[in-house]
C-alpha cells in the first residue's frame, strides 16, 4: 500500500463515516458495506490487512482513547460482570466455538478449530457502545460492554498464542498454557502499573500543552511496545495506563485537556473509519484463498459457525448474569436485573477488526510445520465478523427500542448536576471571600461583583476590565481578575472531583462540568496567551 492509496483510504472512509451521521445506519455498518462493494470495483487497489500494522499501530490508540474515556470507578463497581465477559466468556467461547467448528467441518483438526475459536471469541464493542449511548441505555449496560471490549482482546490474543502452539505441534500443555496466560495478564497489568505514575508525572511536569499532547500521542505505543517486549500483554498495559490517566486527567491544565480531547476524537474517528472500511475490502483476498474448499461448502460452514458464535454467547451471558445473584451479598451490592439486560448484552457481541488481524497473523508455515486449513479459518473469521456486524448491528437498535429498557433518569442526573454545581459555586464563593480579604488581591467592586455573578451565570459576556495597577503586587486589575478567577475555578474543580470520588456524580457528568470550567478558563486567558 503506497502513500496515495493510504490517503485515499483514509479520505474515503472518513467521508463515508461522516455521511453515516446523516443516516440511521451506524457508521461501522455503512463502512463495511461500502468496503464490500468497493472491493470488486475495477481500479480499487488491494487493501490487505497487515497484522503487523493493525495490532501494534492501530489497536493501541483505539484502546487508549476508549480507556481514557471510561470510568475507573464504574468499571471497579462492575468488575464481576466485566471480568466474566472479558475473561470467562472469551475462554469459554474459544473452547465451545472451537469444538462446534471441529464437529461441523470435516477434516478440521481440533487444534486448528481452537485457533478459530480464539480468533473470533472477542467482541468489538465500538458499535455496540455507540448505539447504547445514542439510545440512552442504562449506564451499567454501557459500562459492562465498554469494559468487556477493553480487556477481551488481551484474553483472546493469549488464548490464540496457546492454541497456535498446539496446532503446529509445539507440544504445549494445559499447565504451560495457563502459565503463559498468567504471565501475559499479570505482566501486562504490571507494566501498566509501573508506567502510569511516571507518565502522569511527566505530563504534569512538561508545563506546555503542545508537548503534553505530543506525549499523549506516544503513550499507547510506548505502553504496548514495553509490555510486548517482555512477553506480556500490550493490550492490558495500554488499558491500565489509559484508565489511570483518564481518572487523573483533572490534574492536567485546561489547555491540555481541551486540545487532547479534540486530538483524540480525531484520531479515533480516522482509525475506526479506516479499520471498518478495511474489513469490507478483505472479501476478494479471503475468497481467493479458499483453495480446496468450494464457495458453497464454505458458506454453509460459515453459517454454522456464525450461529454457534451467537448461541454460545447467550449460553454464557444468562448463567453468568443470574447464577451469582443466588448470593445475598451480590444482590445487595448490585442493582436488580431482569431478562432484558442480558438479552441486549448477549446480542451486542459483534466482532471486529481485531479478530481479522489475529486471523491474518496465522503463519502459513511455522518451523517447517504447515498450519492446517489456514485459508478456511480466515474465511470463517471474515464471515463471522461481517455476519455479526450486519445482522446484530442492524437489529440491535430496534431490539433495544422493542424491549423498552428503562433509560437514564435525566431528571435525577439534572438534579445531581445542579446540586454539584451549587456546592462547587459555594466553595468558589468562600474562596473568593478569603482572597478578597487580603489587600494584595484588591479589586474594583464591579470586577469583584463580576466574579460572584459568573458563578451563577457562566454565559454572561466578558466585562470590560479596568487597567489600573495594584500598588502592592504590581498586577493590573485584569491580571488580578484572571488570577482570582482561576483560584475560584480550581476550587470548583476540586469539589467536582470529590463528588465524583464519593459517587454522587458519575465520570460523564464530571467531565461535562469540568469542560464548562475549562472553556471559561480558556476564554478568560485567551488575550493573555495571544500577548
Give the model's pLDDT for residue 464: 35
17 Cβ partners below 8 Å, 6+ apart? 27, 30, 31, 269, 272, 273
Give the model's pLDDT for residue 407: 63
520 Cβ partners below 8 Å, 6+ apart? 454, 458, 485, 489
Residue 243, all three cell numbers: 484508565
Cα–Cα distance measured from residue 217 to residue 268, given in angstroms and rounded to the nearest whole number:
12
Q: Measuring CA to CA, how many Å separate 79 from each of 87, 258, 408?
A: 11, 30, 21
Give the model's pLDDT for residue 466: 38
DSSP character at residue 388: I
How deeply is 444 buried, as exposed, middle or buried, from its count of CB atoms within 10 A (0-12, 13-18, 19+)?
A: middle
DSSP character at residue 476: B
Cα–Cα distance measured from residue 122 to residue 354, given in angstroms and rounded to the nearest whole number:
8
Cα–Cα distance measured from residue 19 to residue 1, given in angstroms and rounded to the nearest whole number:
25
Give the model's pLDDT for residue 363: 84
How deeply is 287 buried, as exposed, middle or buried, from its count of CB atoms within 10 A (0-12, 13-18, 19+)?
A: middle
Give the model's pLDDT for residue 470: 63
The dihedral through the CA atoms of 351, 355, 360, 363 has a sign that is negative
Give the model's pLDDT for residue 485: 79
Q: Which residue has 471490549 as its cell numbers?
A: 149
Rg (C-alpha) for the chain, rounded Å, is 26
One digit per residue, the tens of pLDDT, for the chain of length 531 reads: 678 888 999 999 999 999 988 887 878 888 988 998 998 888 888 887 778 888 888 889 988 998 998 888 888 988 999 999 999 999 999 999 999 999 999 888 898 999 999 999 998 856 666 666 666 677 788 888 888 988 888 899 988 988 888 877 665 666 666 788 888 889 999 999 999 999 999 988 888 888 998 999 999 999 999 999 998 999 999 999 999 999 998 888 878 888 888 899 899 889 888 888 988 888 888 887 776 777 888 899 999 999 999 999 999 999 999 998 888 888 777 767 788 889 999 998 888 888 888 888 888 776 667 788 888 999 999 999 999 988 988 888 888 888 887 766 665 666 676 677 777 777 887 888 888 888 787 778 887 777 777 665 543 333 333 345 566 766 656 567 777 878 888 899 999 999 999 989 888 889 889 888 888 777 666 544 433
Q: Bridge-partner residues for 365, per DSSP?
A: 370
Cα–Cα distance measured from residue 122 to residue 125, given in angstroms and rounded to the nearest whole number:
9
C-beta separation of 160 from 118 below 8 A: yes
C-beta separation of 451 from 462 below 8 A: no
Give the model's pLDDT for residue 411: 56
What predicted TM-score, i.e. pTM, was given to this entire model?
0.79
484 Cβ partners below 8 Å, 6+ apart? 432, 435, 436, 441, 443, 451
Cα–Cα distance measured from residue 202 to residue 215, given in angstroms and rounded to the nearest whole number:
9
Give the model's pLDDT for residue 136: 64
Residue 209, all three cell numbers: 500543552
The dihedral through the CA atoms of 70, 72, 78, 83 has a sign that is positive
Local structure of 366: helix, strand or coil = strand
Residue 136, all three cell numbers: 440512552
Amino acid at each position: 500500500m503506497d502513500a496515495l492509496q493510504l490517503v485515499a483510504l483514509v479520505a474515503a472512509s472518513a467521508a463515508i463515516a461522516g455521511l453515516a451521521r446523516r443516516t440511521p445506519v451506524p457508521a461501522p455498518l455503512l463502512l463495511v458495506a461500502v468496503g464490500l462493494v468497493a472491493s470488486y470495483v475495477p481500479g480499487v487497489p488491494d487493501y490487505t490487512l497487515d497484522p503487523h500494522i493493525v495490532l501494534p499501530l492501530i489497536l493501541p490508540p483505539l484502546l487508549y482513547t476508549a480507556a481514557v474515556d471510561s470510568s475507573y470507578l464504574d468499571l471497579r463497581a462492575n468488575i464481576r460482570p466485566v471480568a466474566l465477559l472479558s475473561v470467562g466468556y472469551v475462554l469459554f467461547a474459544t473452547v465451545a466455538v472451537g469444538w462446534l467448528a471441529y464437529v461441523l467441518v470435516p477434516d478440521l483438526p481440533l487444534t486448528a478449530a481452537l485457533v478459530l475459536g480464539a480468533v473470533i471469541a472477542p467482541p468489538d464493542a465500538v458499535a455496540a457502545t455507540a448505539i447504547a449511548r445514542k439510545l440512552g441505555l442504562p449506564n451499567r449496560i454501557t459500562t459492562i460492554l465498554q469494559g468487556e471490549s477493553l480487556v477481551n482482546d488481551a484474553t483472546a490474543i493469549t488464548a490464540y498464542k496457546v492454541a497456535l502452539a498446539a496446532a503446529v505441534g509445539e507440544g504445549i500443555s494445559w499447565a504451560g498454557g495457563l502459565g503463559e496466560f498468567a504471565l501475559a495478564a499479570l505482566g501486562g497489568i504490571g507494566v501498566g502499573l509501573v508506567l502510569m505514575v511516571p507518565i502522569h508525572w511527566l505530563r504534569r511536569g512538561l508545563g506546555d500543552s503542545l508537548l503534553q499532547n505530543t506525549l499523549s500521542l506516544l503513550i499507547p505505543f510506548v505502553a504496548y511496545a514495553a509490555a510486548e517486549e517482555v512477553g506480556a500483554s500490550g493490550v492490558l498495559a495500554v488499558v491500565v495506563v489509559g484508565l489511570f490517566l483518564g481518572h487523573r486527567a483533572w490534574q492536567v491544565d485546561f489547555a491540555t485537556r481541551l486540545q487532547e480531547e479534540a486530538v483524540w476524537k480525531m484520531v479515533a474517528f480516522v482509525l475506526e473509519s479506516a479499520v471498518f472500511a478495511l474489513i469490507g475490502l478483505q472479501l476478494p483476498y479471503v475468497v481467493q484463498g479458499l483453495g480446496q474448499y468450494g464457495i458453497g461448502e464454505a458458506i454453509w460452514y460459515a453459517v454454522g459457525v456464525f450461529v454457534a458464535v451467537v448461541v454460545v454467547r447467550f449460553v454464557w451471558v444468562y448463567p453468568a448474569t443470574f447464577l451469582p445473584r443466588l448470593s445475598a451479598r451480590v444482590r445487595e451490592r448490585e442493582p436488580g436485573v431482569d431478562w432484558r439486560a442480558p438479552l441486549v448484552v448477549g446480542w451486542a457481541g459483534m466482532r471486529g477488526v481485531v479478530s481479522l488481524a489475529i486471523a491474518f497473523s496465522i503463519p502459513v508455515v511455522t518451523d517447517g510445520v504447515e498450519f492446517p486449513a489456514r485459508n478456511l479459518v480466515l474465511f470463517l473469521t471474515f464471515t463471522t465478523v461481517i455476519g455479526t456486524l450486519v445482522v446484530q448491528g442492524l437489529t440491535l437498535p430496534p431490539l433495544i427500542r422493542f424491549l423498552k429498557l428503562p433509560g437514564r433518569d435525566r431528571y435525577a442526573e439534572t438534579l445531581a448536576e445542579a446540586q454539584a454545581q451549587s456546592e462547587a459555586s459555594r466553595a468558589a464563593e468562600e474562596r473568593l471571600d478569603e482572597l478578597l480579604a487580603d489587600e494584595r488581591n484588591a479589586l474594583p467592586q464591579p470586577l469583584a461583583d463580576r466574579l460572584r455573578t459568573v458563578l451563577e451565570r457562566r454565559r454572561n459576556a466578558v466585562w470590560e476590565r479596568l487597567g489600573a495597577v495594584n500598588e502592592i503586587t504590581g498586577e493590573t486589575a485584569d491580571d488580578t481578575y484572571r488570577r482570582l478567577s482561576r483560584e475560584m475555578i480550581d476550587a470548583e474543580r476540586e469539589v467536582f472531583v470529590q463528588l465524583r470520588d464519593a459517587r454522587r456524580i458519575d465520570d460523564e457528568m464530571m467531565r461535562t462540568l469540568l469542560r464548562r470550567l475549562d472553556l471559561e478558563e480558556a476564554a478568560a486567558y485567551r488575550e493573555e496567551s495571544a500577548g
